[in-house]
Chains A and B, each alone.
Chain A
Amino acid sequence: MIPLAFDYARPDTLDDAIALLAEKGEDASVLAGGHSLIPVMKVRLGAPEFLIDIGRLPELSYIRVEGDELAVGAATKHRDVVDSAEVATEVPLLGAVARTVGDPQIRARGTLGGTVAHADPAADLPAALLALDATVVLQGPRGRRTVPIGEFYTGVFTTVREPDELIVEIRIPRCGDKGWAYEKFTRRSNDWAIVAVAVSDDRIGLVNMGSTALRASATERALAEGKSIAEAAALAAEGAEPPADTHGSVAYRTHLVQVLTRRALETAHGAR
């Protein structure tokens, strides 16, 4: 399978990339690792006229502690997140979830910013970033702005990113001493989650339970009110609109998310 024809540029600097994106706007897609974008283009669900390759910009590949936060460059590869000592110490959930993305070859190419931008409701990392209370840093011709991850997604494959804006960084509050867990249920070992649940410090992110990654708000409120884990986890599907497909019905996912939420909360609380 071969994508429709497009033009390609690999700018040498972040400034050049942003200038080019401002010029091309909606005609362009940003290419980093390409492991979400290229498959979509190969089956011709996507056909951008122009690709701006930021995958090799050293300015966008870094992991560093900055004050109370960990800053991760948007083009940082999943494998570098998995291997990072800073991630393991400061935001261990992020490394554990990145380790479940695809397989080793996919993790060697796919990037954190790419999976955030792609906005697939079945992707692991957006839900983990919701549980981690992360912030997305966007840069465009009007300068930089930051968007809380909870306000970033608007629907399946859609976000508040403007066509001339580039995701340049993900910022995550340091939480190394807090309980966390990731429960992912798949049919095959390297597959997308049928449902997954990320927990960090009683914030709960759900994978594949609606058109975007979402928080299990009713469960979070119940925990805050002192309800038991079992009582709180039973509310995990409240407000969610899970998809129905060959992997599971709405009823199946509704049940599954409660089970996984209970397990994740038990693990997270046990690790405290």
Chain B
Amino acid sequence: MKVEITVNGEPTSADVEPRQLLAHYLRETVGLKATNIGCDTTSCGACTVLLDGDAVKSCTVLSVQADQQSVTTMEGLDGASEGRPEHPVTAAFRSEHGLQCGFCTPGMVMSAVSLISHDDDLDERKVREGLEGNLCRCTGYHNIVRAVLVAAGKDPDAAQKSEAESDALRTAPAFSRGEAGA
């Protein structure tokens, strides 16, 4: 089946089997290897890309579902190739040491890009909730959360001072307290 998918601003097309996953289209058909396949079960988020601007897990999207749509991968961010300014999220991951082995990083970065574009007033709690779909088994998330806050133009040290408060929030999830209707 023929699909036409704009990847990082460039038109791509291929004749694919309907069962092909978008992650495989990106890695094998288009040849972009930043998008990692980690758990392959919609859990870890290493395969996160933007599909028409929304962060999605490309191991659980069929290529045919993305036909005539637009995908952005880590390679499509500014600074991914030479001669362009570095993207604020990747710059912040570097300055805040938001990666160790790096396997989860492309997914984390793409989730962060989506999170920042959908919410212009992020705080630490929102960042932690927003990264819920991305697992990192190296860093314990602290530097990743700092990096996202820095990329969003927030002071991560001010945010970390309120950590005790957010710990309290984690043990009492807002969704169970009736506040959304208040």
Name A's B-contacting residues (CB within 8 A). 1-8, 10, 31, 34-35, 38-39, 41-42, 51, 53, 55, 79, 88-89, 92-93, 95-97, 99-100, 102-106, 108-109, 176, 179-184, 189-190, 263-264, 267-268, 270-271
Check if B176 sits within 8 Å of A184, measured CB to CB. Answer: yes
Residue B21 at the chain A interface, CB threshold 8 Å: yes
CB-based closest 3 A-B pairs: A103-B133, A92-B181, A8-B18
Residues on A with C-beta less than 8 A from B175 are 96-97, 99-100, 182, 184
Q: Tell me the complex Cα distance, A137–B55, Å.
A: 30
Residue B182 at the chain A interface, CB threshold 8 Å: yes
Residues of B115-147 at the interface with A, using a CB-CB cut-off of 8 Å, are 115, 129-130, 132-133
Check if B64 sits within 8 Å of A53, measured CB to CB. Answer: yes
Residues on A with C-beta less than 8 A from B81 are none
Check if B178 sits within 8 Å of A267, measured CB to CB. Answer: yes
Could you list 12 examples of A-B contacts with CB < 8 Å? A2-B21, A8-B1, A10-B67, A31-B65, A35-B42, A39-B42, A88-B180, A92-B180, A104-B114, A104-B133, A105-B55, A106-B133
Residues of B154-180 at the interface with A, using a CB-CB cut-off of 8 Å, are 173, 175-178, 180
Check if A109 sits within 8 Å of B181, measured CB to CB. Answer: no
15 further A-B contacts with Cβ under 8 Å, apart from A38-B61, A184-B173, are: A2-B20, A6-B18, A8-B18, A10-B65, A31-B65, A38-B60, A53-B65, A79-B54, A96-B176, A103-B45, A105-B57, A106-B57, A181-B177, A263-B176, A268-B178
Residues on B with C-beta less than 8 A from A10 are 64-65, 67
Q: Tell me the complex Cα distance, A5–B16, Å.
A: 12
Residue B40 at the chain A interface, CB threshold 8 Å: yes
- Which one of A10, A103, A180, A271 has the greatest number of beta carbons of chain B within 10 Å? A103
Q: Tell me the complex Cα distance, A183–B41, Å.
A: 26
Identify A6's interface contact among B19, B40, B67, CB under 8 A: B19
Identify A271's interface contact among B18, B41, B111, B182, CB under 8 A: B182
Residues on B with C-beta less than 8 A from A96 are 175-176, 178, 180-181
Q: Tell me the complex Cα distance, A271–B179, Å.
A: 9
Question: Please, how many residues of chain B have a CB less than 8 angstroms from a CB on the other chain?
Answer: 38
Q: Tell me the complex Cα distance, A34–B133, Å.
A: 17
Check if A267 sits within 8 Å of B176, measured CB to CB. Answer: yes
Check if A181 sits within 8 Å of B176, measured CB to CB. Answer: yes
Closest beta carbon of chain B to A45's beta carbon, Å? 13
Check if A39 sits within 8 Å of B18, measured CB to CB. Answer: no
Interface of A is mostly: mixed
Closest beta carbon of chain A to B119's beta carbon, Å? 11
Check if B132 sits within 8 Å of A190, measured CB to CB. Answer: yes
Check if A39 sits within 8 Å of B133, measured CB to CB. Answer: no
Q: Tell me the complex Cα distance, A8–B19, Å.
A: 9
Residue B48 at the chain A interface, CB threshold 8 Å: yes
Residues on B with C-beta less than 8 A from A179 are 178
Identify B65's interface contact among A55, A105, A106, A190, CB under 8 A: A55
Check if A95 sits within 8 Å of B133, measured CB to CB. Answer: no
Residues on B with C-beta less than 8 A from A176 are 181
With contacts A38-B62, A179-B178, A182-B175 known, is A105 near B18, CB below 8 A?
Answer: no
Residues on A with C-beta less than 8 A from B56 are 105, 108-109
With contacts A3-B19, A6-B19 known, is A108 near B54, CB below 8 A?
Answer: yes
Check if B133 sits within 8 Å of A190, measured CB to CB. Answer: yes
Q: Tell me the complex Cα distance, A143–B71, Å.
A: 38
Closest beta carbon of chain B to A193's beta carbon, Å? 12
Residue of A nearest to B17 (CB): A5
Q: Tell me the complex Cα distance, A52–B20, Å.
A: 16
Check if A8 sits within 8 Å of B64, measured CB to CB. Answer: yes
| In the complex, per-residue mask of B1-37: 1 if CB is within 8 Å of any chain A CB, else 0 | 1000000000000000111110010000000000000
Q: Tell me the complex Cα distance, A161–B36, Å.
A: 38
